[in-house]
Amino acid sequence: MIDSIQSVKFSYRLLKTKRFRRILFLVDRTALGEQAEGEFQETRIEGLKTFAEIFDLKGLKDANPDPDTKAHIATIQGLVKRILYPTDEVPSVDQYDCIVVDECHRGYLPDSQISDRVVCQELVRHIDPRTGSDRSAR
């Protein structure tokens, strides 16, 4: 497991080398998302520039990143809600081409509502339409 600063530097390298065009930094709690956002805004990478000064960063309050956004921080609960229970735009399959997962080991919703297996199956169907219905086509 790597810490938040290493995750920021790792994300920077992936974007700087143009290996990926947009990274989703996925957390399981709002507190972790806020902490990660602080790290992205404060960690100096290139000279005196921070990640957020080099690349466009969207935090937890931004459900849908702009086309030029390079890094987006979201909770697993928020992502599951956007995919399974959309009120606006369902994320497209190619919205993120790299997902950095940070400590997402807790449940998504109470077990009485949905099981982890069902959530995983729905997420896989969304990401890979060959496995079933493509929910992004809504």
Q: Is residue 44 part of a domain?
A: yes
Residue by residue, DSSP assigns 75-120 as: EHHHHHHHHHS-SSPPPPTTS-SEEEEES--S-SS-TTT--HHHHH
Q: How many domains does the chain have?
A: 1
What's the pLDDT score for residue 100? 87
What's the pLDDT score for residue 138? 43
CA angle 78, 130, 85 (to 5 degrees): 25
Q: Which residues of the chain have pLDDT under 70?
A: 1-2, 103-124, 126-138
Q: Is residue 138 part of a domain?
A: no
Cα gap 92→83, rounded to integer Å: 9
Q: Is residue 137 part of a domain?
A: no
What's the pLDDT score for residue 115? 54
Domain that holds residue 125: 4-132
Residue with tokens 């735009």: 89
Residue 131: burial class (beta carbons within 10 Å; 0-12, 13-18, 19+)? exposed
Q: Domain containing 102 — which CATH number? A: 3.40.50
Report whether 41 contacts 57 (CB < 8 A): yes
Cα gap 43→8, rounded to integer Å: 8
What's the pLDDT score for residue 21? 93
What's the pLDDT score for residue 137? 46
